[in-house]
């Protein structure tokens, strides 16, 4: 993930706070900030709508939102970053991901310009599955083993 950010010269990045065993990249977030990358965490403002993003730096206070997800305590909203990290509960060879079923990331990825996406997953979660018409494939999926998709 760090190499991907360096190669793409990512100025700002939408990251995620890990829940339920998702890959934990918080140490890498520290490195990104030291390299000058601005970070933002996703925030659900309205159900069935795209995600909003709030500026965040490691060490800033966080609170739990109504969905049980950590968000910045001070919601300083920013434009959607040009690149996003998305946790994957599952993924396939075509770059589609499984999440928690809310569709928030798919709605976020429908907007133009579409952000560049990097799925973060464990290799053992690759599976064969179909996708719905509203699903949006990721540009790249990386695992602890290799780049996939």
- For 13-58, what is each residue's pLDDT tens digit? 999 999 998 999 999 999 999 999 999 999 999 988 999 999 999 9
Among 81, 62, 59, 58, smallest CA distance to 71 is for: 62
Strands 77-78 and 116-120 turn out to be: unpaired
Average pLDDT taken over every residue of the chain: 92
Confidence of residue 133 (pLDDT cuts 50, 70, 90): confident
pTM of the full structure: 0.91
Q: Which domains does the chain have, with CATH numbers?
A: 2-124 (3.40.50.10420)
Confidence of residue 5 (pLDDT cuts 50, 70, 90): confident
Among 75, 97, 79, smallest CA distance to 142 is for: 97
């Amino acid at each position: 993930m760090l190499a991907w950010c360096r190669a793409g010269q990512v100025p700002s990045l939408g990251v995620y706070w890990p829940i339920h065993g998702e890959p934990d990249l918080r140490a890498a977030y520290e490195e990104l900030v030291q390299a000058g990358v601005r970070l933002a965490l996703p925030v659900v403002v309205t159900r069935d709508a795209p995600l909003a993003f709030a500026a965040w730096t490691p060490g800033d206070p966080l609170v739990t939102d109504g969905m049980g997800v950590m968000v910045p305590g001070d919601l300083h909203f920013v434009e959607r970053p040009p690149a996003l990290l998305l946790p994957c509960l599952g993924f396939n060879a075509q770059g589609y991901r499984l999440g928690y079923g809310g569709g928030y990331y798919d709605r976020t990825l429908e907007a133009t310009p579409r952000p560049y996406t990097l799925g973060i997953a464990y290799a053992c979660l690759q599976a064969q599955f179909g996708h719905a018409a509203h699903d949006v494939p990721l540009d790249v999926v990386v695992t602890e083993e290799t780049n996939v998709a």
